[in-house]
Every structure is written in structure tokens, then in C-alpha cells.
Amino acid sequence: MKIGIIICGRYQDCGGGKCFRAMRERVGGFARYPQDEPLEIVGYSYCGGCPGGNVEYVPAEMKKNGAEVIHLATGLVVGYPPCPRIRQFKEFIEKYYGLPVVIGTHPIPWKYFEAHQKLSFWEKMKMEEMAGELMHEDKRIMKEYN
């Protein structure tokens, strides 16, 4: 599977260590792929900063490089606050570029998960619906990604 990753602009300096580790370990958003399926990152970029203008363009290059799926990084789900545009990004990329979008890359670090569960707006964002793989991750794995 050839994968493009788009991260949140607030973390644009991130080297992607957790995302690449999660891909190797097949956890978080990558748990959906069988262990023996080769995974290749064909693009890694950021949204361009709020309101995410780069989401309009960057999937084009990823698609040209063979991307079959786009992952929106876990930082969009558990930033403070989470990105308010996740749903729009997903729908836009899927409809405009015809590429499926998975919400999540690495497991949510446990300390972030605990903190977000105390936030009143977290439930309203229906993260369960959008990022079920992350929300139901084994607690032990989440702690390993603290």
C-alpha cells in the first residue's frame, strides 16, 4: 500500500518519528494493514497551517507518486484543540481526489488521551466515529507512545 501522510501545521517541524514507528509496528491508524503487506510512504507534508490551504494541493503530488490512501496524522485528533476541519479535509480529499482518507497515524499517547477525555468538546467532535482505531487502541500501546 502506498501512503501519503498529512500532518497538522502546528507540528510542521515534526520529524515523523512516531508515525514511522507506528507504520513499522502496525498500530494506530496502520493497524488496518496486515503485517505482511508492504507499506510505502510516498508523500509526507503538512496542511499549510490554519485553515489548511495545502490540503487543496498536496494530495495531487501524493497521488502522482502513487498514493492509494491518505492518512491524516494523529496530531489533528489530539492537538489542543483538535483540528476543527478534520471532517471537511476527509470529505474533500475523498471526493475531489478519489483517495480514501484514514484519520490517524500513530497511537494517541496515553497522556493526551487522558487529557482530552476531560474536555467538554471532545465528545461533541465524535472522535469515536472518525478515528475509532485510535480511540480503541490498547492502553498499553498508548502508554508506549507517551
Q: Does 119 sit near ligand SF4 (CB under 6 A)?
A: no
CA distances to 9, 32, 62, 117, 129 from 45, in Å: 9, 22, 9, 28, 25
**Does residue 8 bind ligand SF4 (CB under 6 A)?**
yes
Q: How far apart are CA 112 and CA 114, in angstroms?
A: 5
**Beta 40-46 vs 69-72: how paired, if at all?**
unpaired
CB atoms within 10 A of CB 50: 12
Beta partners for 70?
4, 101
Q: Considering beta carbons, is residue 2 or 87 the nearer one to ligand SF4? A: 87
Nearer to ligand SF4, 28 or 52 (CB): 52
Asked if 9 touches ligand SF4 (CB under 6 A), the answer is yes
- Tell me how far CA of residue 98 lies from CA of 8, 54, 91, 92, in angstroms: 21, 17, 10, 9
Q: By CB under 6 A, which span of 63-71, 75-83, 105-113, 118-126 interacts with ligand SF4?
A: 75-83
Residues in contact with ligand SF4, counted by CB under 6 A, come to a total of 12
Residue 85 interacts with ligand SF4 (CB under 6 A)? Answer: yes
Interface residue with ligand SF4 among 47, 77, 102, 108 (CB under 6 A) is 47
Q: What residues line the site for ligand SF4 (CB under 6 A)?
A: 8-10, 47, 49-52, 76, 79, 83, 85
